[in-house]
């Protein structure tokens, strides 16, 4: 086992730099929600006071028209079959975000959820406190783009915009692999793939070395080496025979004498 340990990175389950603390993310979420909720509330009160019974007001060169519309439906005029159902859905969304906030370790997610929470609370306030009845109140919309009367796009308000922007931000973070708890899933996957590739390369090298060691004595010796020893023996025998023949030749005249 390798005693050395790699330092913590942003891809680990405990994100680097957060220290495991979530209160600051809860504070950020709540701050975004309060500020956007107040913007939505103030603009609705101002629109009701200034635009009630008035013709659409053209601003920004006609790109935006200010026009008061009381909407019994969901965001951007979508109908889901009952105002009280939409109020219950908004309550459920608020409850889920509040419960989910304690798990946050991501600034982007805190901002996105804060925007969605503000939008849900803004429209829920209208449904609870505005006419015609509690839980059936009509939402105040006053922004019409590209033309009056929602001709090209449904009339909306600041709460609808906050919900849309927050939802888009959360989707983008998810696509980029940025989780609500601060982990980076794509980075972790890349690291896992790299480690797997290194492990496979190490196994290949080990197998190659093992094969070389097992085949060493046979592969390293020349093919003609086994025949070299018999050739040397034959040469030595021939030399010895020649020496004996020479001695016999030298001793023969003496014996004759």
Q: Per-residue pLDDT averaged across 244-255, rounded?
A: 46
Distance CA 229, CA 207 (A): 34
More confident residue, 117 or 249: 117
More confident residue, 1 or 128: 128
CA angle 173, 178, 181 (to 5 degrees): 120
Closest CA to 112 of 55, 70, 38, 165: 165
* The pLDDT of residue 203 is above 80: no
Taking only the tens place, the pLDDT of each residue in 160-195 is 999 999 999 999 999 999 999 889 886 555 555 555
* Structure tokens belonging to residue 75: 């965001």
160 labelled catalytic: yes
More confident residue, 31 or 199: 31
- Banded pLDDT at 12 (limits 50, 70, 90): very low
231 labelled catalytic: no
Express as a percent the part of the chain with pLDDT over 70. 60
Which listed residue (160, 179, 193, 231) is catalytic? 160
Which listed residue (141, 195, 203, 231) is catalytic? 141
Q: Is 246 exposed, middle or buried (0-12, 13-18, 19+ CB in 10 A)?
A: exposed
* Structure tokens belonging to residue 91: 């309550």
pTM comes to 0.65
């Amino acid at each position: 086992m390798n005693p050395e340990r790699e330092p913590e990175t942003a891809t680990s389950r405990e994100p680097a730099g957060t220290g495991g603390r979530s209160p600051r993310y809860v504070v950020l979420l709540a701050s975004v929600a309060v500020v956007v909720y107040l913007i939505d509330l103030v603009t609705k009160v101002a629109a009701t006071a200034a635009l009630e019974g008035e013709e659409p007001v053209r601003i920004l060169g006609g790109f935006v028209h200010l026009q008061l519309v009381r909407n019994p439906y969901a965001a951007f005029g979508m109908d889901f079959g009952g105002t009280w159902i939409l109020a219950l859905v908004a309550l459920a969304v608020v409850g889920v975000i509040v419960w989910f906030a304690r798990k946050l370790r991501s600034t982007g997610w805190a901002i996105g959820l804060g925007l969605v929470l503000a939008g849900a609370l803004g429209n829920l306030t209208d449904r609870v406190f505005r006419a015609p009845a509690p839980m059936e109140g009509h939402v105040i919309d006053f922004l019409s783009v590209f033309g009056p009367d929602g001709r090209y796009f449904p009339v909306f308000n600041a709460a609808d915009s906050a919900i849309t922007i927050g939802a888009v931000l959360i989707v983008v973070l998810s696509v980029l692999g940025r989780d609500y708890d601060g982990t980076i899933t794509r980075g972790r996957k890349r690291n896992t793939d790299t480690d797997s590739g290194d492990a496979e390369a190490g196994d290949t090298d080990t197998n190659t070395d093992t094969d070389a060691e097992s085949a060493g004595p046979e592969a390293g010796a020349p093919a003609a080496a086994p025949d070299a020893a018999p050739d040397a023996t034959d040469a030595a025998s021939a030399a010895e025979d020649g020496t004996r023949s020479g001695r016999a030749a030298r001793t023969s005249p003496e014996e004759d004498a």
